[in-house]
A and B are shown apart, each in its own frame.
Chain A
Amino acid sequence: MLYRESGQFKTTYAADQQLFPIRQDRYAFFALLAVSFVAIPLLASDYWLTAILIPFLVFALATLGLNILTGYAGQLSLGTAAFMAVGAVAAYNFQLRIPGIPILLSFVLGGLTASLVGALFGLPSLRIKGFYLAVATLAAQFFIPWLLVKISWFSNNSASGVITAQPIEILGYAFDSPMRKYLLVLAIVALMALAAKNMARSSIGRAWMAVRDMDVAAEVIGIRITHTKLVAFAVSSFYCGMAGALYAFAYLGSVEPDGFNLDLSFRILFMVIIGGVGSILGSFLGAAFITLLPILLEVLLTSGAAALNLNLQPGVTSMAQLVVFGGLIIFFLIVEPRGLARLWQILKEKLRLWPFPH
C-alpha cells in the first residue's frame, strides 16, 4: 500500500539513474542515516556502542571489501584478515613515524598499503581461480602475520609484537568516547559504502561482474582481464585495510598481528555468504547477523537453561554457536545462495504488490 512506485515518473536520465530510483527507498535511506547518526548516539548505551555497533560497522566494511572481490569480481579470498592486519599496522606506523600527520590520512595510507599488498597477492589470480586461488590467498593469510610479528620494526620494537594504537584526534577534536568513535567509524563506513555502491554501477563494477560471469566472453568484448582483476584485488584490500585500521584504532585499541588469523577471515567470508554475495546491503546484513548471533545465542541459551532449570555446561553455547554457524552456512547455500539481501528483495517485491498480490 505504502510501498508503491506508481505515479513516480522519471523525466531525465539523471533521475532514472539515481541510486534509489523509488521515492520510498530514498526516504527510508535518509531515515536510516538519521537514525544511525542521531538517534543511536542519543539512545544506545556504551556497551552497545563499543561492543556491538562499532565492531559491526568495522566488520561491515571488511565484508564490503571481500564482497567486492568475491561477490562482484568472483575471486575467492581466504586472506581478508591478513589484509586487515596490513592496514592496521601500516596506519600505526604512518602515525608513529611521520610527525603531525593527520590520522585520517594515516588510515587512508594504511588502506593504500593494504591495497598494494593485496594486488601483489592477487597476481596468481591472473592464472588460476576458484579454490586454487583460495589456497593461494591462504599463503597471504599465514605469511603476513608471521612477517609482522617477526620484523619488530613494525611494532616499534615492542617486546611482544603488540601495537598500541595512538589516540584519534582530528583538527584538535579528540575522538575518545565510545559515541565519538562510533560517529567517526559510521561516517567513514557510510562514505565508503556509498563509494562501493557507485563503483558497482560504474564501468569498473560492470567489468568485474563480466569477468565473474564469464571471463572469456568479457575478454572478447574488450575488457582487460589483468587490469580488472588486479583493480578488484586492490580496491577490495583497500576496504579491508581501512577496516583493519579502524579495528585497531577505534575498536580494540591495541592488537597483535596474530589476532588477524584465519578464523577472522572465515568469519568475514561467512558474513558475505549469509548477507548476500554481490550485494552492498548484504554486506551490512551479514555483518549484523554474525555479530549479533553469538550474543543472542548466548543470552537465549542461558536464559532458556535457567527457565528449564538445567545446569548448562559452560562452553556449550560456544560449541552450539559453531554448530549453528556451520548449519546456517549450509542452509543458506542450499536454500538461498544469495543470502539475506535476496530475502530482503523478495520481501520488497511482496510489499510492492501488497495487499493485492494479483
Chain B
Amino acid sequence: MKTWKQAVIAVVATIAGAASAVPALAQQAGTQFVGITGYRVGPYGANGAAFFGGFIDYLSLINERDGGVNGVRLSWEECETEYNVAKGVECYERLKTRSETGPTAIHPMSTGITYALIDKAAADKIPLITLGYGRTDATDGRVFPWVFPVQSNYWDAATAIIKFIGDKEGGAANLKGKKIVLLYHDSAYGKEPHPVLEAEAKKLGFELRMIPVPHPGNEQQSQWLQIRQYQPNWVILWGWGVMNATALQTAQKVGFPRDKMVGNWWAGSEIDTEVAGPAATGYYAASLNLAGKGYPVVKDIEQYVYKKGKGNGNPKLIGTVLWNRGVGAAMITIEAVRKAQEKFGKKVMTGEQVRWGMENLDINAGRLKALGFNTMLPPIKVSCSDHGGSGLVRFQQWTGTEWKAVSDWISGDKQMVRKMIEDSAAKYAAEKGIKPECMGG
C-alpha cells in the first residue's frame, strides 16, 4: 500500500503542476475563429452530435472549397457542454479568450445555457444565435440587440402548428369545439409555448389540455392513458430526447393514431422516429429545415469534406434533419460574417461587426440557391426590430423510412405573436432598466 500512496501523491502533484500551466491554445492568426459550445454526450448527446457535426462540416466546406470567406480562412474549437448550464458558461468563457476577435457568434443549442449567456454576451459584445430555441421575446432586437432567435421561435412554432391542424381539419373555423392536447417536457423548454397556445385556444375556440411529462420522459403510461380517456382530436408533442420516441411508442400502445400527432422541431428528427420504429409512421413534425441529401451544398460537403476524410461526424448522419439544421446554422453564421465584410472590409470580423452583419442579414431565395441550399431553408431577412427573420416553418411527415415535406413554408398568427413578443420584451426592458432602441453599426 505504501508504494501505492506514493504513486498517488506523485500523480496528484503532476496533475496539480500541469493544471497550473494549462496553456491557452493560440489560434492561427488571421483566421476567423468560430467558438462552438457543443454537446455529444449525455441524454441529448445524439442530437448534439448530428447538429454540431453538420455545423463543423459546413465550416470545413468553406475552407476546403472556397479557401475561406473572401479569403479569410476559418478556424474553430468545440467545447463540450453536456447540455449542462454551468459547463456551458465555462466553455463560453474559455472560447471567448481563444482569439483576439472573439468567437464570432455562439450557438448555445440549449435554452438553459442561452438564458445564462444573455447578459454575459451583451457585456462581452458577442452575438448569440439561438436557432429555434431560447428566449422567445429576444426576437425584439431593440431590447436584446445581441440575441438572434433566427428563423422561428417557439411561439411561431405553436401558432404554425395550430394553423397546420386547422388546415387538416378543413379551415381554422372548424377548430371550434375540437380538443387538442399539449404533451410537454416538464421544464423551461416545455413551458415556453403555454401562453400563446392559451391565447389561440381562446381565439379559435378549441379545448386545450396541457399534460406534462417529468424528465427524462421514458415512462409515459399515465399521460397517454389520460389522453386515451380524454380522446383529443390532436396531440401536440413538445418533447426532447428520449421523451419523443417513448411518446410515439406509447401512443401506439394506447392506440392513438400517429397521424393526429404533430411535434415541434425538436421532436421531429430521425433520432426520435427511427428509435420508435413502425410506431412513428405517419407522425407529423414542424421543421425549420428539410431533411435529405438532394441539395448541392450537401453534395459539396460529401465531395470536398468527407471524400478527403475531413468529415466531422458519422457519415450516416449526412442529410438527417438535425445535421441539415447544423449546416444551415453554420451558413447563417458565415453569411453574417460575409455581410459584415461588405461593410467593414475583407478581414477577420469582431463580435460587434458580426452583430451588424446578422442584423442586416438578407438571405433571399436567389441567395439560398447560389449557396446550394435551394428549398432546404426559407428565405431569412433580419432587421433591428425583428431578429427572428422569417417565422416560417414547414411540416414533414415520417413515412417509416424518411421525412417528407407535406406543406409549404407556412406561418401562424404572426401579428398575435409579434404583439406578445413586444409586450414581453417591454416588461423585461422595464425590469432591467433598458431603453429599447436600435443599436445600428
Contact = CB atoms under 8 A, between A and B. Distances in A.
Contacts of B424: 159
Contact of A162 (B22, B93, B94, B112): B112
A1 to B, nearest CB: 19
B55 to A, nearest CB: 11
Interface stretch (A29-37, A226-234, A253-261): A253-261
Given A47-B93, A162-B115, A335-B5, A263 B187 contact: no
B274 interface: no
Given A159-B192, A159-B194, A336-B5, A317 B80 contact: yes
Contacts of B315: none
Q: Bin chain A's interface residue count.
A: 35 or more
A81 to B, nearest CB: 11
A270 B376 CA distance: 46
Nearest to B4: A335
Interface stretch (B82-90, B172-180, B334-342, B404-412): B82-90
B19 interface: yes
A259 B85 contact: yes
Interface of A is mostly: helix
Nearest to B134: A160
Interface in A134-174: 146, 149, 159-162, 164
A160 B192 contact: yes
Nearest to B196: A159
Contacts of A251: 86, 89
Interface string B74-111: 00001110101110011001101100000000000001
B86 A296 contact: no
Contacts of B42: 318
A95 interface: no
Given A160-B192, A162-B112, A295-B22, A255 B12 contact: no
A314 interface: yes
A146 B118 CA distance: 24
A343 B118 CA distance: 42
Contact of A259 (B23, B86, B94, B96): B86
B38 A314 contact: yes
A299 interface: yes
A45 B42 CA distance: 30
B38 A258 contact: no
B282 interface: no
A215 interface: no
A264 B5 CA distance: 29
B103 to A, nearest CB: 12
Nearest to A264: B86
A45 B97 contact: yes
Contacts of B93: 46-47, 50-51
Nearest to B98: A47
Contacts of A46: 93, 97
B49 A315 contact: yes
Contacts of B4: 335
A52 B87 CA distance: 11
A137 to B, nearest CB: 18
B119 to A, nearest CB: 6
A61 to B, nearest CB: 15
A346 interface: yes
A28 interface: no
Interface in A236-295: 247, 251-256, 258-259, 263-264, 289, 292-293, 295
Given A162-B112, A253-B119, A55 B90 contact: yes
A62 to B, nearest CB: 12
Nearest to A58: B86
Nearest to B137: A159
Given A256-B85, A298-B80, A159 B191 contact: yes
Interface string B50-82: 001000000000000000000000000011101
Contact of A293 (B15, B89, B136): B15
B434 interface: no
A47 B187 contact: no
Given A50-B93, A159-B195, A347 B22 contact: no
A292 B18 CA distance: 10
A256 B112 contact: yes
A296 B119 contact: no
A298 B191 CA distance: 35
B206 interface: no
Given A146-B214, A318-B41, A256 B86 contact: no
A340 B12 contact: yes
Contacts of A161: 187-188, 191
Contacts of A51: 89-90, 93-94
Interface string B126-139: 00000000011000
Interface string B228-253: 00000000000000000000000000
A252 B89 contact: yes
Contact of B15 (A256, A296, A302, A336): A296
Given A47-B97, A300-B18, A252 B49 contact: no
Contacts of B12: 289, 340, 343
B8 interface: yes
Contact of A256 (B1, B187, B214): B187
A319 interface: yes
Nearest to A313: B40
Given A296-B22, A299-B23, A335 B1 contact: yes
Nearest to B38: A314
25 contacts: A45-B97, A46-B93, A47-B96, A51-B89, A55-B86, A55-B90, A149-B187, A159-B136, A160-B135, A161-B187, A161-B191, A252-B86, A253-B116, A258-B187, A292-B15, A293-B15, A295-B22, A296-B18, A296-B19, A296-B22, A298-B80, A299-B22, A322-B41, A335-B1, A335-B8
Given A259-B84, A315-B80, A318-B82, 19 more contacts: A52-B90, A160-B111, A161-B187, A164-B115, A253-B116, A254-B119, A255-B85, A256-B85, A256-B112, A298-B80, A314-B40, A314-B80, A315-B49, A318-B42, A318-B80, A319-B41, A335-B1, A343-B5, A347-B9
Interface of A: 45-47, 50-52, 55, 146, 149, 159-162, 164, 247, 251-256, 258-259, 263-264, 289, 292-293, 295-296, 298-300, 302-303, 314-315, 317-319, 322, 331, 335-336, 340, 343, 346-347
Interface of B: 1, 4-5, 8-9, 12, 15, 18-19, 22-23, 25, 38-42, 45, 49, 52, 78-80, 82, 84-86, 89-90, 93-94, 96-97, 111-112, 115-116, 118-120, 135-136, 186-189, 191-192, 194-195, 214-215, 312-313, 424
6 residue pairs, one from A and one from B, having the closest CB atoms: A315-B40, A160-B188, A51-B93, A318-B41, A51-B90, A47-B97
